[in-house]
Chains A and B, each alone.
Chain A
Amino acid sequence: MRYAMAIDTRKCVGCSDCVVACQTENNVPIGFCRDWVSETVDGTYPNVSIELRSERCNHCDSSPCVRCCPTGASHFEDGGIVLVTHHKCIGCGACIQSCPYEARYSHPDGYVDKCTFCIHRVRKGEDPACVSVCPTKCMFFGDLDDPNSEIVNVLKNRKFKALAPEAGTKPQIFYLV
């Protein structure tokens, strides 16, 4: 089992519904977020193109955050989901420094927090909150080891990229381009 996400940058309109859904679902403190929308503009007017990306923890296969954690608070759950055990985290900040995606932040309560792929929903067979609310249906969540899953199908038929693969982290969020 290997959970992953595919996000269609050509369908995303940058509405930030995913951000709000995540904040609501996971009780993210005000002023913080576990996912966010990035906008990159290429070219010179009038020949410009915009890419919108809903970004979050990449739940990397080779996670520098899990490696550098001195207490084992950052760890892998089934399906490759990277989680932080709050009561094991000492807040040293090593994982925040180690993440090339800047996906982690220091929660006001002291521990480090980040996207969990909504593991509490996934275990019940539901999609993560961000995926479930997307009005353009541009996000796909599923198991890469299941050949019949929608995400495998979409990755088979579309061109895609991952963010900063040169960081050697083997990220598991794929952007359809």
Chain B
Amino acid sequence: MKEELFVSGRNIPNIDPYLHIWHWQIPIYLFLGGLAAGILFLAGVYTILGKDKEMQATVKWAPFIVPFALIIGLFMLFLDLKHKLYFWQLYTTIRLESPMGWGAWVLMIMTPISIIWSASYVREVFPNWDWKFKFLYTFEAWVIKNRWFIAWPMAIYAVILGIYTGILLSAFNARPLWNTTILGPLFLVSGMSTGAASIILMSKNHEERRLIGRLDLLFIAVELFFITHMIMGFLAGSEVQIQAAQLFLGGEFTVPFFVFVIFLGLLLPAVLEILELIGFKVPIVIPAILVLIGGLIFRFIMVEAGQITRYLY
């Protein structure tokens, strides 16, 4: 029997286009959060391992980006709010069930840690820096003495921040493309990868770049594995999830997803990094920049595509 079905939903001009409520601010916020998480995780881990002398860019230089990334990220979140003057209520409530609430609090903890971390290195970078107040010198001395202990919560919170950028989306059951538990780990490794890429861009030490480059290769491999699993999971899921996966498998996001995310953002940098590892002269800056751009486009695509997937009834 032939069956035809169409829904002439509502036709209300000011609502239907605006249910697509998250625009460019959210992907930028997620990208910067992931980047910050990646850098702080690696900085924390190498400090814990006692390699802070060998890994100068990882532990000292790259973390200088983080406070700026987090503050810009928070500003993006602020720009996204529609009732801006009421934003402070994020910090007068604790709602354990709300991913948005978790994110606000994690950032509230992460941003000061990253500022303190970078501040403790300021005088190594600018030897003439003057803290003006004596208690700041005392505090700085305390932080420098206890870096190893600060590195632990920093690395752990970095993982929470990285996973959170995925959970913010995956907690929405109403958007089938986002509603997969693998999105948290996926955004975490993607964030680690972009963090590693920015360390590579800032490092002047060949050995450090090689080591972080290898790590980045691992992150890219895991990311490809997670993306494959995400799509396999969708295809084995219910109709709404199959339709969500179709957006990437022939639907309107196929070309940007495969060209910019999979090929230019993951496969090509991976190949270039492998070539570099086996001895070819490849300027490692190229894969690093590709990874960063790929990570940003990936978040744009996920946020945009997720908002057009919905329950069918």
Chain A: residues with CB nearer than 8 A to chain B?
Answer: 29-33, 36-44, 48, 55, 64, 67-73, 87-94, 96-102, 105-106, 109-112, 163-164, 166-168
Contact = CB atoms under 8 A, between A and B. Distances in A.
Contacts of A109: 83
A90 B22 contact: no
Contact of A92 (B9, B80, B172, B311): B80
A68 B80 contact: no
Interface of B: 2-10, 12-15, 18-19, 21-22, 77, 80-84, 86-87, 89-90, 92-93, 95, 97-101, 104, 171-175, 238, 307, 310-313
B310 A70 contact: no
Given A32-B12, A68-B99, A88 B175 contact: no
Given A31-B13, A90-B90, A68 B172 contact: yes
A105 B18 contact: yes
A116 to B, nearest CB: 17
A87 B45 CA distance: 43
Contacts of B9: 36, 38
Ranked nearest first, the 6 interchain pairs of A and B with the lowest CB-CB distance are A91-B82, A31-B14, A91-B83, A36-B10, A110-B83, A70-B101
B4 A43 contact: yes
B98 A69 contact: yes
With most chain A CB atoms within 10 A of its CB, the pick from B92, B173, B174 is B174
B285 to A, nearest CB: 37
A70 B12 contact: no
Contacts of A166: 238, 311
Contact of A71 (B18, B84, B95): B95
Contacts of B83: 89-91, 109-111
Contacts of B84: 90-91, 110
Given A42-B4, A70-B93, A71-B89, A94 B173 contact: no
Contact of B15 (A64, A105, A110, A164): A105
Contacts of A72: 93, 95
Contacts of A93: 21-22, 80, 82
A41 B19 contact: no
A106 B18 contact: yes
Which of B77, B83, B92 gathers most chain A CB within 10 Å?
B83
Contacts of B98: 67-70, 94
A101 B312 CA distance: 9
16 contacts: A31-B12, A31-B14, A36-B9, A36-B12, A42-B4, A67-B97, A73-B89, A89-B86, A90-B81, A90-B86, A90-B89, A91-B81, A91-B84, A110-B86, A111-B82, A167-B174
A98 B238 contact: no
Contact of B12 (A33, A69, A90, A94): A33
B174 A92 contact: no
A38 B12 CA distance: 12
B264 to A, nearest CB: 29
B173 A168 contact: yes
A32 B11 CA distance: 10
A52 B22 CA distance: 31
A35 to B, nearest CB: 9
Contacts of A101: 311
Given A106-B82, A164-B311, A70 B90 contact: yes
Contacts of A167: 173-174, 311
Nearest to A38: B9
Nearest to B85: A110
A57 B290 CA distance: 44
Given A36-B9, A110-B84, 9 more contacts: A31-B15, A48-B4, A73-B89, A88-B89, A90-B90, A97-B22, A99-B174, A111-B83, A167-B173
A16 B99 CA distance: 37
B4 A41 contact: yes
B4 to A, nearest CB: 5
A64 B4 CA distance: 32
A19 B165 CA distance: 38
A138 to B, nearest CB: 18
Nearest to A104: B19
A158 to B, nearest CB: 19
A54 B223 CA distance: 44
Contacts of B13: 31
Contacts of A88: 86, 89
A93 B84 CA distance: 12
